[in-house]
Structure 1
Amino acid sequence: MDQLLALRVFVRIAESGAFSRAADSMNIPRPTVTKLVQDLEQHLGTKLLHRTTRRVNVTPEGAAYYEQAARLIGELDEMDEGAARARAQPRGRIRVDVGSVLANMILIPALPAFRARHPELHVDLGVSDRPIDLVGEGVDCAIRGGELSESSLVARRIADMDWVTCASPRYLRARGVPRHPSDLETPAPESKAGERVPGHAIVGYFSSLTGRAFPLEFQKGDERLQVRGRMEVAVNESTGHLSALLAGVGVGQVFKFMAAPHVERGNLRTVLDDWSRPRQPFHVVYASNRHLSAKIRLFVDWVADVFAPFDDRRR
């Protein structure tokens, strides 16, 4: 039995809650994973994991063993990386998760420069707006917006971003320009001829986790408003949300940096400019119980530099 590999497999199963996830994340055949755990349990003479039809749970003996095994593997990785730093550039693979627009407009355009500086460091980039389980899915770090609610995550704040309210010129010609946030939720009036004039439509953004759409938010001085209006279309992915606005589906709120190039080209117009929405913080996060290796630390520092020009706190 390769005991070190068995330890790594056991730790991965304990963190992810599944033999299959451990096998996939470590690129090891699933029968091999099962055999390594069986050999480890036989070697120790105790049961480390208890399987159910839905999940793998760690036994009390397994929980104590996990704490020591995870610490040992972290120390071994630190030793390897220390030796590697002394003779070569950082190497290995980093798995990162980031939202769609952040990936396409900020991170991916900067990756060639990162790869040129660190050719032995490879990046697996998961691109989606869905919430993820960093430990369970084997993700080293993620870039996320909004306030953080998970106490198990370590976060480094990399930017605060402004919002704008906008729509396409074609939409505004057809529906009119809103003068107040309440215009977005007021029912459409009837014309003198008795015909109903089209009211405003909102391009909504809904949570992949709950399925609920987020309201538009407005503030001016001490006044705070939330507007839901008539969401004729709602999207759960940021690039698609921007595309719907460009297509003229309705009015919506996006980050200022996203809208800026389209506003310059005349494909979008900002509205309600005397109202703002609270800036949204962005963090790069990683699990507190995960060993922060040199390569992840290097990547986190690089991400902070890449996002610095998009930080509206600097303006």
Structure 2
Amino acid sequence: MDKLQAMATFVRIVEAQSFSKAAETLSMPRSSVTTMIKRLERHLGTALLRRSTRTLSLTDAGERYYASCRAILSGIAQAENELATDATTPRGRVRADMPGVIGRALVLPRLREFAQRFPDIELVLGLSDRPADLIYDGIDCVIRSGILADSTLIARRLGQLRWITCASPRYLKEHGEPETVAALGAHQTVNYISNATGRPLDWRFNVEGDNLAMTMQSRLAVNETDAYLQCGLEGLGLIQLSEFVAAPYLQTGRLKEILASARCSPVPISIVYPSGRNSSAATKVFVEWITAIFEQNDLGWGEKSA
């Protein structure tokens, strides 16, 4: 027996004061309505209605049950109405996680705009290079780079990362500039430690059409993007990072790109979130907002792999 349907049918009978009228409004045969109420009374172990050929009235138990059913059905209707309202006026909390450099350079400067457009959404941002787990960490969406593993989650492409190898003028003055990828072995490099694996990320190049992944020997390694960039600016070694992150420093001359002819192939960047039926309206509008920001700026950056 569908208890919710039985409760709704019982309430309709009481309000219509007739099995026949209730059956008509519910588009059900009268016999089905009668059978449903009999099963409900048998399940509850008590009579709910007093029936005669001309009258229909509630028993004491029926009156109490009717009041409870009205309250339950009203609560369900209210919950559904609120969700329907959310579809046009999204509300609620959205927890999003992204690399810190994305949050600071792209998202935080636009938060006032988001708050004005969606005043009923509470936004909780995690800014970290540590990869987040949507299910374990209770997060609604994350921005990830690299090729994503197959899963039940939706991955929406935001753009692609273009990685370049850089050095500061100070470093190049002291150590010279490598002319080939093979010459890197004679240079100092700064490695980036992946928060996912605890190991240095490979350096990636494309040499004569072949993609190369190289493990670089280094006396210095960090696990945070801003710290990694600072190491390069201080002349502590060669670094490999996103073109967008490096762009302002390339323009001012604080960094110089090297081995430009050996740039690796671009890496995709995506926003990942649950499938439509498991994703709130608020999460969906946040995803659309983030997607629009990337389209407007033609940007992409993050770790070299997901």
In the superposition, the TM-score normalised over structure 2's length comes to: 0.68
CA-CA distance at 1:160 after TM superposition? 0.8
Alignment partner of 1:82 out of 56, 81, 84: 84
> What CA distance in whole angstroms lies between the structure 2 residues aligned with 1:154 and 1:239?
29
Question: 5+ unaligned residues in a row in structure 1: which ranges?
Answer: 1-74, 187-199
Output the amino acid matched with 1:83: T
Of the candidates 281, 285, 298, which is equivalent to residue 310 of structure 1? 298
Distance 1:241 1:221, change over 3 A: same
1:34 aligns with: none
SS at the partner of 2:232?
helix
Q: Secondary structure at the match of 2:260?
A: coil
Asked if the contact 1:215/1:226 (under 8 Å) is kept, the reply is: yes
Partners of 2:90 and 2:118 within 8 A in 1 = yes
Are 1:93 and 2:81 matched, yes or no?
Answer: no
The residue that corresponds to 1:120 in the other structure is 120
Q: How does 1:20-169 map to 2 (within 5 A)?
A: 79-85=81-87, 89-169=89-169
Equivalents in 1 of 2:246, 2:125: separation in Å?
24
1:216 maps to 203
Provide the rounded CA distance (Å) in 2 between the counterparts of 1:289 and 1:269: 44
Q: Indicate the RMSD between aligned Cα atoms, in angstroms.
A: 2.1
8 A Cα contact 1:160 1:279, kept in partner: yes
* Equivalent residues of 2:91, 2:281 under 8 A apart: no
From 240, 253, 264, the equivalent of 1:277 is 264
Cα deviation for residue 220 of structure 1 reads 3.5
Which has a greater percent of helix?
2
1:83-142 Cα offsets, whole Å, 9 max, x none, are 2455xx322221100011111112222222212222222211001111222111110101
Local SS of the residue matching 1:231: coil
Q: Cα distance, 1:154 vs. partner?
A: 1.4
Q: Secondary structure at the match of 2:254?
A: coil
1:155 positional shift: 0.8
Bigger mean CA offset, 103-112 vs 270-279: 103-112
Distance verdict in 2 for CA 1:102–1:151, change over 3 Å: same
Q: Is the 8 A contact 2:195 2:223 kept in 1?
A: yes
Q: Which amino acid is 1:80 matched to?
A: E
Matched AA of 1:131: P
Q: Distance in 1 between matches of 2:233 and 2:200?
A: 20
Q: CA deviation at 1:224?
A: 3.0
Report deviation, 1:290.
Answer: 6.7
Q: Percent identity?
A: 36
Counterpart code for 2:102 = L
